[in-house]
Amino acid sequence: MEEVELLYEEMCQVLTFLEWDGNWWKECAFCAPQRVNDTSHPSTSPENKGPLEEGLRAYTLCQASVQWHLFAAFMKQWHDIPAFIEMAYQGFPGGEEEVDVVDSMV
């Protein structure tokens, strides 16, 4: 059952990362104007800054959305896993003590 515990922990880590990454991309969207203004590349001339900010903001919000959708999809698919693990533990001798190891996901 150690492998099950390790896999479950990895699943929790994936969910934690996806949530963090989605929030990080969202924060990047709010920094788009500053990033464009701090760049000295020729394409960031004053007439290009508006479209560049808009494009950068759209890209970062799209990436945030991808992460949040992955998070939601995995949460939906993995929703019952803790209950399945608990049922498996109850089927093993001495399994009652190990049921406490299983927490709900994220």
pLDDT band at 34 (very low <50, low <70, confident <90, very high): confident
- Residues 53-105: pLDDT tens digits? 899 999 999 999 999 999 999 999 999 998 888 888 887 665 555 444 455 56
Instruction: Check: CB of residue 7 under 8 Å from CB of residue 91.
Output: no
Q: Which residue has the higher pLDDT, 98 or 24?
A: 24
Residues in CB range of 104: below 8 A, 6 or more apart? 82
Q: Does the structure show a pLDDT above 80 at 3?
A: yes
Q: Does the structure show a pLDDT above 50 at 8?
A: yes
> Token pair 């000295």 is at which residue?
40
Instruction: Tell me whether residue 94 is exposed, middle or buried, using C-beta atoms within 10 angstroms of its C-beta: 0 to 12, 13 to 18, 19 or more.
Output: exposed
Q: What is the pTM of this model?
A: 0.74
Q: What is the largest CA-CA distance in the chain?
A: 72
Instruction: Check: CB of residue 80 under 8 Å from CB of residue 102.
Output: no
Instruction: Check: CB of residue 70 under 8 Å from CB of residue 100.
Output: no
